[in-house]
Structure 1
């Protein structure tokens, strides 16, 4: 990638993004990357950045909606992201937010109530990728994903990471998993009617997730024989670490 480009990691909550963000940060000096937790807080602080500070920034990471590159206009930019099976993502999000400060409303919710009325429980991935904070637009989301340098999926984390290393010429990408939601039901333990309810409220995310897998598989199929061997070696090394 050109040094002039702004590298943007769109971190979708509960997709393995905290682990990926830690790897991403290792590739830059502290003053070169803008990374905070809250979307509203980040936008406010970004607007306060001085021109010189913005020029020093080479990368952005966080829970941003597509379009955050406009804060750095007219600089060229590229995005990458990680999506996750929507059912797994919603279940993980529910158990994570139950104990997360600022989300007290979730504490007394059942999983079913969270799916119907909870924050971040309905087509969040489509909302983020299409760039709308109100109405999820699946076609716009797909159109945006086509322009992303890498579109990964949590279930193929190592494969995604290998593609990112190749595209961005990253250094060390070995990792230990971070921010894993503990004390949660596995997908297999959730009643089928509740699984179907999650699917109903995340129909667009399911479609977008399938599209993301298609894009990733196409990229993996384009790897050379030597790169495929490197990928298998990396996966074996990671299995020993985690």
Structure 2
């Protein structure tokens, strides 16, 4: 599954500041110091607009704080590390085409689940119905109530540095939609809930 890279990095930013994250980390690693209150209270918009290092995304930088889509799909080769690199993008695309029957898109679960049901029925038969009838009941369990809305203008500032990440995300989306179109499903099966 892939997710819009900018939405993903914003989500990660607030996830690592959520209270439960530090409770779990402190329990697992009691020797680690707690972060400063200023760091915990820093919002993403301020982080981006003030040029805080944490919210700067420069090509080639190693970012151990979050994994890029291209780096994940590129693989373990040392050339795959580094933010937003052309090598990682090209290798990630190649690996998706060669090694993945389907790469889903989080923002379009209906299409993702439909394609999975048809391309990998052995494992995903009935996945869409199961999701909407069972899993959706628990969808609020993993919501971060501490994550505020981030203005679109700030997202666009960040998006300018995510060019290859966005290209890879769009590549995966197009591929998924082409797979869906190839199914030539009747309209009733295309219904969103």
TM-score range, shorter chain: 0.5 to 0.7
TM superposition shift of 1:191: 5.9
| Match runs of 1:1-242 below 5 Å | 82-99=1-18, 100-101=21-22, 102=25, 107=40, 109-111=42-44, 112=47, 113=52, 114-116=54-56, 119-120=65-66, 124-132=68-76, 134-135=81-82, 136=85, 137-147=88-98, 148-169=100-121, 170-173=124-127, 174=130, 175-176=135-136, 177=139, 179-186=142-149, 189-190=150-151, 192=153, 194-226=154-186, 228-232=187-191, 235-236=192-193
Q: Secondary structure at the match of 1:83?
A: coil
Larger Rg: 2
**Structure 1 residues 172 and 220, CA, compared in 2 at 3 Å: closer, same or farther?**
closer
Whole-Å Cα distance in 1 between the matches of residues 144 and 70 of structure 2? 22
**Contact 1:115/1:197 (<8 A) preserved:** no
Q: Secondary structure at the match of 1:201?
A: coil
Whole-Å Cα distance in 2 between the matches of residues 128 and 109 of structure 1? 28
1:124-165 per-residue CA deviation (whole Å, 9 max, x = no partner) reads 111101114623411001111112110121111111012112
**Contact 1:126/1:205 (<8 A) preserved:** yes
**Contact 1:138/1:208 (<8 A) preserved:** yes
TM-score after normalising by structure 2: 0.64
**Contact 2:114/2:180 (<8 A) preserved:** no
1:182-223 per-residue CA deviation (whole Å, 9 max, x = no partner) reads 33223xx4262x323421332221110111111011011111
TM superposition shift of 1:108: 5.4
Compare relative contact order (CA 8 Å, sep 6+) and give the higher one, 1 or 2.
2
**Structure 1 residues 214 and 87, CA, compared in 2 at 3 Å: closer, same or farther?**
same
How many pairs does the alignment contain? 147
Whole-Å Cα distance in 2 between the matches of residues 219 and 209 of structure 1? 15
CA RMSD of aligned residues (A): 2.7
Give 1 or 2: higher strand fraction.
Answer: 1
**Structure 1 residues 156 and 134, CA, compared in 2 at 3 Å: closer, same or farther?**
same
**Contact 2:5/2:68 (<8 A) preserved:** no
**Contact 2:118/2:125 (<8 A) preserved:** no
Gaps of 5+ in 1: 1-81, 237-242
What residue in structure 2 maps to residue 34 of structure 1? Answer: none
